[in-house]
Amino acid sequence: MLKDKVAIVTGSTSGIGLGIARELARLRVNLVLNGFGDSGEIEAIRSGIEREHGVRVVYDGADMSKGDAVRRLIAATIETFGCLDILVNNAGIQFTAPVEEFPSAKWHAILDINLSAAFHGIAAAVPQMKKQRWGRIVNIASTHGLVASTHKAAYVAAKHGLIGLTKVVGLETAGSGVTCNAVCPGWVRTPLVEKQISDIAAQRNISQKDAAKALLGEKQPSSEFVSPEQLGGTVAFLCSPAADQITGTAIAVDGGWTAQ
């Protein structure tokens, strides 16, 4: 179904992005990985996916906080592969503080990476996708794109903005063979969430296991974490013919969080 398509997954050297990249590779999609990390570890991931799935995988370390770098990532991919079929805007950072204490620099950094990077990527990718008459843009938002939590002013603002951007691009590309959707994960056990679990454990003087339960119990009725593999499956579905008429929408994968 997706064999020989070309996908960029930003922030794909770990966590959710890596889970999505692996699922697309399993479906024989050629990949551009992107993200920070140890160069040796990134090369091991790149070559491992390439070897395991028989697809072409390249790594581009474009800095998602810089709009020009994001646009160059799109151009370089098209130059390397001759096309760009799937763009998964996944790169993200987090910082928490009450709004009156929120550092301006953190606000700008979160908006740059969690929202503006997706805008620049989409703006650069859409002309190529329209020319091909086929393209899939998937923005990894969050339940925090649909509902709010305290102390996350920048993250919630960026993710709500990302869903708004998704709707606009869905409308602008409707009928062109290009779709744009957002996926809204609940709690996923990524390094970002591990830090929040550790913070809860330290604050309440409880074990990591009890802290994880507390985190889930507060928001996620299923009491289970969403897995990167499940999110990869959701992205794969949005790239399938079954989803040809799904565009401009947000799909919650959150164990019931936003149903409450």
Catalytic residues: 155
Tell me the residue length of the chain: 260
Structural contact between residues 230 and 253, judged by C-beta atoms closer than 8 angstroms: yes
Structure tokens at 77: 């991919």
| CA 145-148-152 angle, 5° bins | 95
Alpha-carbon distance of 69 to 66, in angstroms, equals: 5
DSSP state letter for 227: P
Structural contact between residues 30 and 81, judged by C-beta atoms closer than 8 angstroms: yes
Alpha-carbon distance of 159 to 145, in angstroms, equals: 4
Q: Which residues contact 144 (CB under 8 A, 6 or more apart)?
A: 152, 155, 156, 159, 160
Measured in degrees and rounded to the nearest 5, phi and psi for residue 201 equal: -60, -45
